[in-house]
Each structure stands twice: as C-alpha cells, then as structure tokens.
C-alpha cells in the first residue's frame, strides 16, 4: 500500500445483516437497536484537515492500543455501522469519544481505499475525519452490505494492527481485498520488512472470534518483541486473539508465497491478512539494552535478563 492524500468523502457505511452495534464500557454490555442506512439528508461538512493512518510505501503502523480493539468500548459481536449519522452510532461514539475515534480510524483505514475519507460530527460539534488506506472492503465502504469476505478481512486487519503494549511500530500488511486486488507492495518494502510474522483471520462481526498463526519459528526464551501475540508462545494478554500454531499448517499462500490468501480452522475457511516486521523489532537478552519487554532477574531469558537489566533490587 502507498499513502495517498485524501480526496473526497463518503459518510455512509452499510451492513445488511441482522447484527446490532454492541458497546461495552464501565457498565454492562448490551445491544443498541440497528437503524437503516441513511441515504438522504444534508451531508456533513468535510474538515480541512484529515487524520490519516500513518503509512508510507506499504508500511502500516500498529498504533491501535490493545484495549482499543474489543475491550474498552467496542465489541465486534454484531458490529453494524449503518450510517455515521445514526442514533446507534452516536450513542456508541459518545460513550468514549477518544476510544471511538481511534477505533474508527483503523476501521476506515482497513475498509476504505486510499483517497477517500469518512466524516462524523460528534456531540460537541467537532468534525472527525478518518482516511481510507487499504481498501479491503469496497462494497461495505461504498454503503452496501458487508459481504462475509469483507467482514473477515476487516476483522483480520484490525487484529493485525493490535499492539498489546500500546506502542507504535511499523509493520508491513500483505493480502488482497474482497475483490481479490492485492495490497500494493514493493521489493524495497519486502526487503526492509524481511521478518515474517503472522497470519490473522477470523470474524469479529460475529461470535467466531479472531486468530493468529506464526509465519516463522516462535521466539526463543531469550527473545522478545513488541509484536508479542504472533511470535511469542502462549503469550498472556492477547485475548481475544487466539494463537493457532504455524500459518503453513492451515493457510494457503498466494502464487508468489509472499502472503496467505485464506486460512482454515475447524472446518471454516477465512480470508486472511499477513504481516511482516523489521528484524530489529525482535529483541535479544544479551544485547546490552534493557528493553521494555525484558525484566531484571537472575537468568538469560527475557523475563530474567541479568545481562541487560541486572539483578532485581528488593
């Protein structure tokens, strides 16, 4: 993918399922009634400045904090954005505007193509602008019902951008849209992001869940990474993302063996997204730097890295 300046705007999102928008905050979770897609009325103004997902030459930044995916505001069980002017959307957004703004930035970047934006005026009169990037769900982005493939690809894309530690690091996102158009990449990108990472798939629009497999060997005990959920075995805190083992055992590669097109789990086949990272995103105990993924202690593994972090002081 390549970054493109925003041109034009659309405000309608449609999903023709029987789903509802679910919200979870400090109080109990519950459904909001689904409203039909708005097809008329006065369009919202387009802001003079946009909020693009930071990207450059196919690089996508996984700055979506982990608690922004499904815990502190949005559960994707029955996700339905039936028009950004709907009462259901406004009620969800107003529960936690900062979180909702962040979630919508990634939803729009995954679903809509580069060059398009979605705008929303919140309850305080502030115009929010979210930019498209990957264009994985062209039907949904144009206001039609999301196909199952689009649901799967948006779900996989959101999971791929999760960062358990809330850190922003560049990743390379590979795959193809629901219309089978590959995400544009370059040889330079593949060379820079030479470390294969994971395959993401599932469906957050339903109760099927979301999954990750590792596309290289799992990290050794003396290794750690900010991108913990794909490569570290049995990583705690990655729920709702479930680790399912090596990608190669359940996924179909594209003809160039650059990314996976589909992955199958328990008899269900899902459209998939593949990620790659830079080698420097994997840290090693013993390199002389106490990384935030490492801890003090007596040992040579990342959880007790004497060489880098020293002995723990009582």
**For 251-276, what is each residue's pLDDT tens digit?**
999 999 999 999 999 999 999 999 99
Other CB atoms within 10 A of residue 295 CB: 18
Residues 231 and 297 in one domain: no
199 assigned to some structural domain? yes
Average pLDDT over residues 6-13: 35
Q: What is the pLDDT of residue 111?
A: 92
Residues 138 and 54 in one domain: yes
User: Is the Cα dihedral 104, 109, 111, 113 positive or negative?
Assistant: positive
Residues 120 and 237 in one domain: yes
pLDDT top residue among 13 and 96: 96
pLDDT band at 135 (very low <50, low <70, confident <90, very high): very high
Residue with the two structure tokens 């979870």 = 24
Query: Can you give the residue range of the structural domain that contains 311?
Result: 285-314
Q: What is the pLDDT of residue 268?
A: 97
39 assigned to some structural domain? yes
178 assigned to some structural domain? yes
Distances (CA, A) of 249 to 25, 138, 193, 233, 252: 37, 30, 23, 16, 9
Q: Which helix (H) or strand (E) holds 75?
A: strand 74-75
Taking the C-alpha atoms of residue 246 and residue 73, their distance in angstroms, rounded to an integer, is 31
Distances (CA, A) of 184 to 30, 74, 275: 39, 30, 14
User: Is the Cα dihedral 88, 94, 95, 100 positive or negative?
Assistant: positive
pTM above 0.75, yes or no: yes
Q: What is the pLDDT of residue 66?
A: 53
Taking the C-alpha atoms of residue 164 and residue 250, their distance in angstroms, rounded to an integer, is 25
* Domains held by the chain: number: 2
**For 69-93, what is each residue's pLDDT tens digit?**
443 333 443 344 445 667 777 887 8
Residues 71 and 41 in one domain: yes
Q: What is the DSSP string of 250-290?
A: TEEEPTTSSSEEEEEETTEEEE-EEEEE-GGGEEETTSS--
Residue pair 13/82 in contact by the 8 Å Cβ criterion: yes
Residues 123 and 161 in one domain: yes
Residue pair 164/283 in contact by the 8 Å Cβ criterion: no
Residues 289 and 263 in one domain: no
Residues 201 and 314 in one domain: no
Assess whether pLDDT exceeds 90 at residue 190: yes
Residues 225 and 91 in one domain: yes
Residue pair 31/22 in contact by the 8 Å Cβ criterion: yes
Residues 241 and 308 in one domain: no
Taking the C-alpha atoms of residue 106 and residue 118, their distance in angstroms, rounded to an integer, is 12
88-97, 112-121, 125-134, 166-175: segment of lowest average pLDDT:
88-97
Taking the C-alpha atoms of residue 187 and residue 55, their distance in angstroms, rounded to an integer, is 17
Residue 60: burial class (beta carbons within 10 Å; 0-12, 13-18, 19+): buried
CA-wise closest residue to 203 among 14, 17, 7, 11? 17
**For 24-63, what is each residue's pLDDT tens digit?**
222 222 222 223 222 222 223 222 222 334 444 456 666 6
Residues 296 and 161 in one domain: no
């Amino acid at each position: 993918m390549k970054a493109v300046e925003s041109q034009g705007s659309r405000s309608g999102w449609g999903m023709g399922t029987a789903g509802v928008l679910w919200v979870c905050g400090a109080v109990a979770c519950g459904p909001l009634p689904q409203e039909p897609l708005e097809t008329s009325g006065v369009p919202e103004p387009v802001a003079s400045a946009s909020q693009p997902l930071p990207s450059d030459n196919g690089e996508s930044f996984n700055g979506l904090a982990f608690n922004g995916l499904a815990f502190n505001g949005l559960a994707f069980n029955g996700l339905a954005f039936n028009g950004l002017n709907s009462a259901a959307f406004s009620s969800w957004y107003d529960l936690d505007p900062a979180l909702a703004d962040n979630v919508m930035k990634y939803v729009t970047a995954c679903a809509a193509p580069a060059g398009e934006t979605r705008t929303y005026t919140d309850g305080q009169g502030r115009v929010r602008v979210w930019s498209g990037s990957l264009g994985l769900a062209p039907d949904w982005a144009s206001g039609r019902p999301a196909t199952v493939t689009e649901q799967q690809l948006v779900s996989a894309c959101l999971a791929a951008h999760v960062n358990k530690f809330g850190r922003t690091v560049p990743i390379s996102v590979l795959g193809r849209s629901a219309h089978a158009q590959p995400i544009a990449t370059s040889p330079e990108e593949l060379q820079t992001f030479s470390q294969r990472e994971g395959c993401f798939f599932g469906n957050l629009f339903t109760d099927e869940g979301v999954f990750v497999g590792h596309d290289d060997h799992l990290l050794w005990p003396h290794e750690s990474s900010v991108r913990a959920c794909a490569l570290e075995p049995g990583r705690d805190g990655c729920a709702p993302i479930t680790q399912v083992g090596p990608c190669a055992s359940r996924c179909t590669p594209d003809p160039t063996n650059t990314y996976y097109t589909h992955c199958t789990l328990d008899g269900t086949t899902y459209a998939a997204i593949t990620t790659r990272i830079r080698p420097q995103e994997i840290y090693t105990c013993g390199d002389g730097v106490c990384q935030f993924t490492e801890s003090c202690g007596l040992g040579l593994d990342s959880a007790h890295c004497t060489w880098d972090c020293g002995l723990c002081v009582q």
